[in-house]
Structure 1
């Protein structure tokens, strides 16, 4: 599994401001039998990399950079050592390795005393609690390596078990932040997006308005996995504002839910409502987690909002707003056009700062090129999508 992170204080805060965002990632990589045999060498359109020979980039030089869309523009890893002598075509072989990952991103609330401390505590506390869960979940399925082991391995956890583990980790972090706030005599709040990726599925939870997306190269799409716990989201759901207003609304920095607080709550029993979900991941997916410094980067948001409303919300002014704000389509393009996850992370920071750099920005990007390819008709994965029939619980209504 590949991952990249990037964080920036934001252009508006560059002189004298501090970055109150925090990120944490822990990856467990396991190989067995013949070992890692390389990622798929085909691009998203089924063509060989750069329309040339495998392992050669457009300049004719070797490249080992793994692309976010699942292709490798570099030499096949399996050419090293005796493992390359297998007669079967490399593209027909399943990779003999697998990954599990834990991630957490938190955005400290800048209007409070210790947002930076809250985000640091939240990300480290969550990953500390989930890292072992991810490893146990990965090792509970030895048949993936054609190994027969029953006892003493635990049975593979269910989706709901892993979602509960994520929620419990976030609640534990909430209590740690409250404990810190009480001891320091300060207010400490943060948003959190956290989860674990194992067995080709992402189990995640969130509090606040930091976001998670899946960007898929095979379908050229971006899917929001979270919905903001924020005033603007409530107004949007109530039909009081439209999608264009939501991009630049003056209340875009107001959240309705956060980890931490003033410390007045009992740190031993306090809780927070963590929204959770599970989605499958595919070879062409990039999992993107970001603070609101990306979608809310526009420093002239209030002015754009006023212009749009004064213009009667007409389409011409809507186009101006979309052009100046950061949209999901621009995020998708920045990720899919980048040659690597690290470049994608850097481009997202540049995009936010080009639009004003209103706030701190942090990102986490993860990609697993060993997963199965995207099916022709994948299940709905966007936040709010209706679950497949086979995943719904049966309800019995009594007369």
Structure 2
């Protein structure tokens, strides 16, 4: 097969730019080879299906570390690099995204063949092609807080999740909450784990704070509740498709931020992070410490930071939510910033492209506090422009929250 597979510069289905060597549109999954007018002597190309994909990485042993939540900076073990899901290879539980072009009153037209009807599981009844899913790209605003999550450019599904909430303290002071989770790709049903953890943690915080529970105590309780929600998934019966992989329990990382009455509280397990970026960009800081192999080596004085993060084991996580986690140790910390700013809560799909706090401050728009949703989109775009090797999720929480002071320092 030559590099000149087709001569399209944009996808006929969704108008997204495509490269000459692309077999499928990365946005909608359209088969570009069939959409383009082939040369007279173009040979038939056998596409690799899931059955032909290389075997997944072996399940990690109980050494106290898992592979990184995304499976590495450039995941290749699932056989989906730069390829759309093969028919019936995608998760049938995922819901269909926004409607494609309507096909009469019956339902939706397939994004691949444009002729078949999409069934309730999200597959074309004509060609069997998996349709875009709702979680491929998600955006939400809740009061002053906003979040954006994207599948990225190399994963076949989005295993990140987020949940936003607003509440009030007993005296009526408003509270802003953001929770971001990253599913562990080497585990079973990582997308369900991240969704359950983020939803449960946000709900727990929303219920605890109005009762007068101190935000840091509420954060600790929320992480424990999220862990129980993920643990419960391991006890649910799995379908035959997943039965063989059940030895790796559902798992995810979690990071959360609460802004309440001049107080900033963060909580985390794993390697998802929270950053503090003042409006004046003075002294930005990372607020969390990774539960990872590299961080442990540096903390123990066994390696320099440069040496540790250059090692292939650097991103293996040593803490996560899941039934096979050793001993859950939720981390919480509270701060009283003396100036306004924004808390960036994100997965490694973003911070891999802006790891240092100064780098995060540089790419965050100056008006992030006033336009959090727009700014979250900008940060996700930065990750995609950098290669989009992983799912990317970011939530922005302005500080101080509405109706509060800036803190006493």
Equivalent residues, number: 254
Q: Measure, in 2, the Cα distance between the counterparts of 1:342 and 1:246.
A: 35
Deviation string 1:128-163 (CA, Å, 9 cap, x unpaired) is 2110222233xxxxxxxxxxxxxxxxxxx5xxx432
The answer as to 2:155 corresponding to 1:19 is: no
1:107 Cα deviation after fit: 0.5
Contact 2:165 2:177 in 1 (8 A): yes
Residue by residue, what CA displacement relative to the aligned partner does 1:263-305 show, whole Å, maximum 9, x if unpaired? Answer: xx9xxxx9621011111245521011101111225xxxxxxxx
Q: Check whether the contact 1:282–1:371 (CA below 8 A) recurs between aligned residues.
A: no
1:10 aligns with 2:152: yes
Shift of 1:352: 1.5
Q: 1:215 aligns with which of 274, 277, 282?
A: 277
Quick check: which one's helix share is greater? 1
Alpha-carbon distance in structure 1 between the residues aligned to 2:403 and 2:338: 9
Residue number in structure 2 paired with 1:372: 405
SS of the residue corresponding to residue 117 of structure 1 reads: helix
Q: In structure 1, how many angstroms separate the alpha carbons of the residues matched to 2:175 and 2:225?
A: 22
Name the CA shift for 1:214/1:111 in 2 (closer, same or farther; >3 Å). same
For 1:252 and 1:369, how far apart are their aligned partners in 2? 39
Separation of aligned partners in 1, 2:252 and 2:160: 9
How much does 1:194 deviate?
2.4
CA contact (8 A) 2:273 2:290 kept: yes
Distance 2:173 2:307 in 1: 43
Distance 2:217 2:179 in 1: 15
Measure, in 2, the Cα distance between the counterparts of 1:285 and 1:245. 33
Contact 1:326–1:355, Cα closer than 8 Å, also in 2: no
Q: 2:380 matched to 1:343? A: no
Match of 1:125 in 2: 200
Cα root mean square deviation, aligned: 2.8
Alpha-carbon deviation of 1:374?
Answer: 7.0
Q: Which deviates more from structure 2 when the two are superposed, residues 353-362 or residues 326-335? A: 326-335
297, 316, 321: which is aligned to 1:235?
297
Q: Deviations over 1:316-360 (max 9, x none)?
A: xxxxxxxxx654322112224346222221121122122222211
5 Å-filtered alignment, 1:173-192, equals 173-185=226-238, 186=246, 187-192=249-254
Q: Deviations over 1:12-67 (max 9, x none)?
A: 22xxx11111100111369x9xxxxxxxxxxxxxxxxxxxxxxxxxxxxxxxxxxx
CA distance in 1, matches of 2:208, 2:181: 20
- The equivalent of 1:261 in structure 2 is 323
Instruction: Give 1:203 shift.
Output: 2.5
2 CA distance for matches of 1:326 and 1:228?
12
Compared with structure 1, are the counterparts of its residues 213 and 8 closer, same or farther at alpha carbon in structure 2 (3 Å cutoff)? same
C-alpha change, 1:253 and 1:4, in structure 2 (3 Å) is same
Note the residue ranges of structure 2 that are not aligned, 5 or more in a row. 1-142, 239-245
Instruction: Give the secondary structure class of the aligned counterpart of 2:179.
Output: strand
Alpha-carbon distance in structure 2 between the residues aligned to 1:24 and 1:370: 22
1:357 aligns with 2:385: no
Q: Indicate conservation of the 8 Å contact 1:326/1:352, yes or no.
A: no
Residue 328 (structure 1) aligns with: 357
CA-CA distance at 1:250 after TM superposition: 2.5
Aligned residue number for residue 67 of structure 2: none
Partner of 1:280: 336
SS in 1 for 2:349: coil
Which SS does the other structure have where 1:209 is aligned? Answer: coil
1:271 and 1:242 map into 2 onto residues whose CA distance is 27
Task: Give the gaps of 5 or more residues in structure 1.
Answer: 33-96, 138-156, 298-324, 379-399
Q: 1:349 to 1:242 in 2, by over 3 A?
A: farther
* SS of equivalent to 1:184: coil
- Alpha-carbon shift at residue 233 of structure 1 (Å): 0.8
The answer to whether the Cα contact below 8 Å between 2:146 and 2:164 also exists between their aligned partners in 1 is no
Task: Report the Cα distance in structure 2 between the residues aligned to 1:21 and 1:213, rounded to whole angstroms.
Answer: 18
Contact 1:134 1:196 in 2 (8 A): no
- Tell me whether 1:294 sits opposite 2:327 in the alignment: no
